Amino acid sequence: MAINIQFDGFIEDVREFDWGRVFNVSHTQWKKTGEEFEAIGKDYLDVTTDDAHADGAEAGDKIRVTGRLKTKRFNKKDGSTGIALNVRAESFEILKKGDPNNRGSEKTGHAAMNEIWPVAEIPGTDDQAPF
């Protein structure tokens, strides 16, 4: 039985192989405190894909991945056991800024208001105002 996973994250590093690519992806863990969200840590996952949708993906891009989660145990240099998280991507999407499906990248405050009501469209506004 496979563990299915879907998450958004940022590409940290890309490694190319004959059979495909491995993307090291960071995913921020969030905790809600009252009305605020606070970043409490990061997970790093290796995402393996040969998907053509991954073409052009590079470090810094925000992506959405759906796939199967696998864990792998390994011996660390200090002799302790570590666990690596690996995802075999079934779908891989580069998220574009301004895409309504791009959760977590929505604009807030003045930037959000300017998208709803651009200054040029508000009657009586003056771009030359001194303030």
pLDDT at 108: 40
Residues 80 and 74: beta-carbon distance below 8 Å? no
Number of domains in the chain: 1
Range of the domain at 95: 3-99
114 belongs to a structural domain: no
Give whole-number Cα distances, 111 to 4, 97, 119, in Å.
35, 13, 11
The domain that holds 50 is classified in CATH as: 2.40.50.140
Tokens in use for 112? 């959000």
CA–CA–CA angle 54, 99, 119 (5° rounding): 145
110 belongs to a structural domain: no
127 belongs to a structural domain: no
Could you tell me the pLDDT band of residue 18, with boundaries at 50, 70 and 90? confident
| Lowest pLDDT segment from 18-32, 68-82, 98-112 | 98-112
93 belongs to a structural domain: yes
Q: Which of 72, 54, 71 lies closest to 63, judged by CA?
A: 54
Strand partners, 14: 23
112 belongs to a structural domain: no
122 belongs to a structural domain: no
pLDDT digits (tens, 9 = 90+) for 30-65: 898 888 888 898 989 999 987 676 888 889 999 999
